Structure 1
Amino acid sequence: MAAETPQHPTHVPLAGVIGMPIAHSRSPLLHGHWLKTYGIAGHYVPMAIMPEHLAEVLRILPRAGFVGLNVTIPHKEAVLTLADVVTDRAALIGAANTLIFRADGKIHADNTDGYGFIANLRQHAPDWQPDDGPAAVIGAGGAARAVVASLLDSGVRELRITNRTRMRAEQIKAEFGARVVVYEWAQAGNMLQGAATVVNATSLGMTGKQPLRVPLDALEPGALVNDLVYAPLETPFLAEAKARGCRTVDGLGMLLHQAAPGFERWFGQRPAIDDDTRAAVLG
């Protein structure tokens, strides 16, 4: 892997996040905190990039001293077609969130969302076991695909999924195989019966979005419940799950953990994910 590490000895290394819009991103706070904590001479900048300019931007930025990028909506799929090297997990998920501009001029695309998701669960629920029972995932978008891939890879034997548009859930089943069971959106509450791990992988419940209206009566006390939404930090979904005796993990840790591999590749330091990191990102 050493050959893929970017080396621009005459430049202060630059990294950033591209998307449209981008003003809401917490990534500059996160990477800025790590750069300051470790005394690294580098910068991390948010960039609003229109889709029609994406290919040109990816050609130009390495020449300006950039060693890599985080990628968010709407570019996570498009960068796969522009990268020279795509990791197996990025290809499986169908999206990339981390780019490395290599010293040999090649663009290396990876997806660390699934890694961040599992690392967050393991940090905040260290006794969690993937094979404790079925997992239930609400949603079938890009984030859900990363969650599904990582749960199956971790050893979950049955993965239940539901989505407002059933076809997207069926597509995930077609790609990920027999362990995936699709539930109708109207039956989402039933999907939680006996589930040991429950994940909201939609934006429902986020500040400014519609609430998540899945009934939680069938939630098992002791189940591990995670929401990828982290604004608010404790969503109504998590608050109700906690009131029903479930263990809950908020979504902020996934953001922090998915960022660590990229930071390490760009700046040469594996960052710690601790209370100071959380506080810095929460502002």
Structure 2
Amino acid sequence: MDRRITGTTHVVVHLAYPSHHLRTPTYFNAYCAEHGHDAVLVPWQVAPENLAAAFEGLRRIDSLAGVIVTIPHKTSVAGLCDSLSDTAGFLGVANVARRTPDGRFHGEMFDGAGFVQGLVREGRSINGRNALLLGAGGAATGIAEALVRGGVARLAIANRSMDKAEELAVRLRSAFAGRDIVAAPADARGFDLVVNGTSLGMKAGDPLPVDPETLEPGALVAEVVMEPDVTPLLRLASKRGCGTHRGVHMITGQIELLARFLLDEPGA
């Protein structure tokens, strides 16, 4: 399909550091071509110390529809936005921000919704599961909220900083009264859903986010890491007799949400 870029093309930039692993532009641009959106997503590698200056400059770009955000910028971008959705405001993270004509940015968080939608599309139900979430950063925060909203029976959050895991658990318990949400060690025994919400596995030599010996056969092990397509955790989980769910499904599950948020008129 013709993907000409013209003087009227809406530009979306994908803020990341590093950016070499990004796969979202491929899926987003294919979606725009298929649905007739005159828009293009371009990866931008921006170091954390330069993010605020880059974001300020983007306010002045009339052709900019907005930004998509990934590691390590989701929390920082939420702080740079002029307004946030209820979900992004509650979580304190944003993975997308729409630019308004006056140069203001409105942030939203679709990682959680995209993750759950990706599971649903692959025929995986989360309702009633006992879930262990590894990580409490930007993507993990969104996934935690979506897992609870989606009906897991129990959510345990494991993080290198136990204080950060406990802080997220407290916030979720305040929003979902009566739900079983705790901070816990990275031990998968007793869980039938294990989600790696960290970046561990993206680089060769990364430690595993959980001891694979604690993975129980029959459990579903899910990733947010998209590159490599099959991470060391997923390979070991498969050998343990676990089901596996690749990180790419979190992106394919939210491409439509991202495109509509960035390219449709608000309220349309």
- Equivalent residue for 2:4? none
- Equivalent residue for 2:182? 181
Cα offset for 1:230?
Answer: 2.1
Is residue 28 of structure 2 the alignment partner of residue 31 of structure 1? yes
C-alpha contact (below 8 Å) 2:191/2:219 kept by paired residues: yes
C-alpha contact (below 8 Å) 2:155/2:182 kept by paired residues: yes
Separation of aligned partners in 1, 2:209 and 2:96: 32
Q: Please identify which structure carries the higher helix content.
A: 1
- Equivalent residue for 2:176? none
Structure 1 residue matching 2:132: 3-state secondary structure = strand
**Alignment deviations for residues 62-110 of structure 1 (CA, whole Å, 9 cap, x no partner):** x2x1112112234322332332331111112211111112356542210
C-alpha contact (below 8 Å) 1:203/1:209 kept by paired residues: no
Is residue 149 of structure 2 the alignment partner of residue 153 of structure 1? yes
1:140 partner amino acid: A
Cα offset for 1:13?
Answer: 1.8
RMSD: 2.5
- Equivalent residue for 2:94? 96
How many residues matched? 251
Structure 2 residue matching 1:45: 3-state secondary structure = strand
Cα offset for 1:121?
Answer: 0.9
**Alignment deviations for residues 13-69 of structure 1 (CA, whole Å, 9 cap, x no partner):** 2222123433432232222222333444332222334224144223212x2x11121
- Equivalent residue for 2:60? 60
- Equivalent residue for 1:111? 109
- Equivalent residue for 2:133? 137
> Which of 32, 43, 48 matches 2:45?
48
Structure 1 length as normaliser, TM-score? 0.79
Structure 2 length as normaliser, TM-score? 0.83
**Alignment deviations for residues 137-191 of structure 1 (CA, whole Å, 9 cap, x no partner):** 122222211111111111222111222222221221222226222223xxx33xx
Separation of aligned partners in 2, 1:99 and 1:90: 10
C-alpha contact (below 8 Å) 2:156/2:181 kept by paired residues: yes
The alignment-based identity, stated in percent, is 33
Cα offset for 1:236?
Answer: 2.4
> Which of 58, 76, 79 matches 2:77?
79
Separation of aligned partners in 2, 1:12 and 1:78: 27
**Alignment deviations for residues 183-227 of structure 1 (CA, whole Å, 9 cap, x no partner):** 23xxx33xx222121111122222324130633344333222102
Tell me, which stretches of 5 or more residues in structure 2 are unaligned? Answer: 1-6, 174-178
1:201 partner amino acid: G
- Equivalent residue for 1:274? none
Give the direction of change, closer, same or farther, for the CA distance of 1:47–1:215 in structure 2 (3 Å limit): closer
1:93 partner amino acid: L
